[in-house]
Amino acid sequence: MSNECECIDSGKKWREKPENKEKMKVYLKDWREKNKDKLKEQRKKYYDSNKDKILDYTQKWRDSNPEKVKQYYEKMKEKYKNDPEFREKQKQAYKKWYEKNKTKINKPETDKTEKGEKISQTTCTDSNVATATSQSS
């Protein structure tokens, strides 16, 4: 068992040397590039099996870091405004998301107030999405 600990310690020492840190950085970058599909599949499986935990953690982080969230959104807003390539990519991603989720978001919903009145809520339609994406340009 002590032999096993020595191997771990020596590996750790090797990785902590500055010249080896750079080697590891390059190696890992190359490995990730070669194994993109495998990593994507692993991340998807992990997310699918831990979705609630991840969403809870994300919400807690956002609640405890409102200034960072605001900075992030401001940065993305500027990037969207100034980078046409990024803007187009975001529009395509939104369209893809919308196509995948339109059956969920197009259901008419009604809400009841305390007085029992029904209020119709706006639903998202194909024309609304097209209008929203063209106006944001």
Q: Is the pLDDT of residue 129 over 70?
A: no
Q: What is the pLDDT of residues 89-111, one digit of tens each?
A: 999 999 999 999 988 887 665 55
Note whether residue 88 is domain-resident: yes
First to last CA, the chain: 63
The pTM is what? Answer: 0.53
Q: The domain containing residue 137 runs over which residues?
A: 66-101+125-137
What confidence score (pLDDT) does residue 61 get? Answer: 96
Amino acid occupying residue 32: R
Number of domains making up the chain = 1
Note whether residue 76 is domain-resident: yes
